[in-house]
Amino acid sequence: MKNLVQNFTKQLSESLAIANKAVISEGTPVNNIVITGLGGSGIGGTIVSELVANSCSVPIISNNDYFIPAFVNEKTLVIISSYSGNTEETLSAMQQAIAKKAQIACVTSGGKILDLAKAGQMDFIEIPGGFPPRSCIGYSLIQLIKILVVKGYAPASIFSDLEKAIVLLEKENAAIKSEAEQIAKKLVNKIPVLYSLGSCEGTVVRFRQQINENSKMLCWHHCLPEMNHNELVGWTTRNENLAVLSFQTSFDYARTQKRYALCKPLFESLSSGVTDVVAKGESKLEQFLYLINIGDWISCYIADLRGIDPVEVKVIDKLKADLSNF
């Protein structure tokens, strides 16, 4: 897993090359967009929706279920994201999108989804297979962006931001790993409490998933200002087993930043400590990729400290095997 994380910028460069060669139709204008997928394939939809929130002219919904929303019709763009191409929930959603005559585009490495896309002459982008899906967010995320750019729902300038992000991550590689290693020591054998200050909740969800899968630990996340209206009241008793970490960007709203500053002393007094990770870069994409990368490294270093294999997911494999009997 460490090798895969180390090669993140290489993956982004390869993904950019794939995007440049991909042939996607412009299609006809739509009223809404649904990006459907699960786990490492699904989180890209959340991140992309935040990335283009201020520029996309139609709403984008990230869907993580067997079913698609009732509003989906021929005026909906449904983007199918499944690394394996055989995710049963995503296949179910795709079949419903086909029945509803939605405009469909797929991002996958193969499987039944690729077969359906080819048979139905749908837009698709094929990405390299054979890796743990959670390690391939660079492949899937960039192709989601490609589809939105071609269809007119994201600015083409975002690819310039990607090129800058690759340079930034390569330059900061040693510093990112050093910071991640120190943070891992604070989180190991604790229950991480992860917070976003509003602009980048998708990267925090991604980090939670990586702690779950790579570090084999439970944790939770929440987002400001929403947590100020519910979870904040739960902070009443000191618990040394809790370790708070925030992801922050320069795009966080000023009053949300002030809210966090006011809450931070409370978190510090009732937990084992608070760590703030501040993204580097100028654009949203640069900062999001920076946070994804440092989060991935933290999860790997926690696995090292716990003496476990970050790659294996036996419990998920067992669940899939058991489901195949039904």
pLDDT in tens, 237-289: 999 999 999 999 999 999 999 999 999 999 999 999 999 999 999 999 999 99
Q: For residue 321, is pLDDT > 90?
A: no
* Residue 20 burial class via C-beta count within 10 angstroms: exposed 0-12, middle 13-18, buried 19 and up: exposed
Same domain, 47 and 123: yes
Active site residue 286: no
- Tell me the pLDDT tens digit for each residue of 186-215: 999 999 999 999 999 999 999 999 999 999
Which are the contacts of 55, defined by CB distance < 8 A and separation ≥ 6? Answer: 154, 155
Q: At what angle do helices 284-306 and 39-51 cross, to 10 degrees?
A: 150
Same domain, 118 and 258: no
Same domain, 181 and 297: yes
- Secondary structure (3-state) at 192: strand
Which are the contacts of 309, defined by CB distance < 8 A and separation ≥ 6? Answer: 303
Question: How many domains is the chain built from?
Answer: 2
Same domain, 102 and 227: no
Q: 10, 101, 258, 320: which is the annotated catalytic residue?
A: 320
Domain boundary among the residues 107, 129, 156 is at 156
Q: Average pLDDT for residues 311-321, to the nearest whole number?
A: 83
Q: Average pLDDT for residues 28-52, to the nearest whole number?
A: 95
- Tell me the pLDDT tens digit for each residue of 124-178: 999 999 888 888 899 999 999 999 999 999 999 999 999 999 999 999 999 999 9
Q: Which domain CATH number covers 98?
A: 3.40.50.10490
Q: For residue 326, is pLDDT > 90?
A: no
Same domain, 135 and 228: no
Strands lying side by side in the sheet with 32-36: 60-63, 32-36, 76-82, 103-108, 123-126
Assess if residue 234 is contained within a domain: yes
Same domain, 64 and 196: no
How high is the pLDDT of residue 314? 82
Range of the domain at 135: 2-156
Cis geometry, peptide bond prior to residue 128 (ω within 30 degrees of 0) = no
Tokens found for residue 34: 């649904």
Assess if residue 123 is contained within a domain: yes
pTM of the model: 0.95
Same domain, 141 and 190: no
Same domain, 84 and 230: no
How high is the pLDDT of residue 59? 96
Average pLDDT of the residues of the chain: 95
Domain boundary among the residues 112, 129, 156 is at 156
How high is the pLDDT of residue 17? 96
How high is the pLDDT of residue 134? 85
Same domain, 139 and 234: no
- DSSP β-bridge partners for residue 196: 223, 247
Same domain, 127 and 180: no
Assess if residue 273 is contained within a domain: yes
Q: How confident is the model at residue 51 (pLDDT cuts 50, 70, 90)?
A: very high
The number of C-alpha atoms within 13 Å of 143 and in the hemisphere containing its C-beta is: 32
Active site residue 213: yes
Q: 50, 201, 213, 286: which is the annotated catalytic residue?
A: 213
Assess if residue 292 is contained within a domain: yes
The helix or strand, by DSSP H or E, that contains position 276, with its residue range, turns out to be strand 274-278
Same domain, 121 and 78: yes
- Tell me the pLDDT tens digit for each residue of 207-245: 999 999 999 999 999 999 999 999 999 999 999 999 999
Same domain, 129 and 20: yes
Active site residue 101: no
Domain boundary among the residues 156, 183, 199 is at 156
Q: Average pLDDT for residues 84-92, to the nearest whole number?
A: 95
CA distance 65 to 6: 31
CA distance 289 to 21: 22
Chain centroid offset of residue 59 CA: 18
Q: For residue 70, is pLDDT > 90?
A: yes
How high is the pLDDT of residue 79? 98
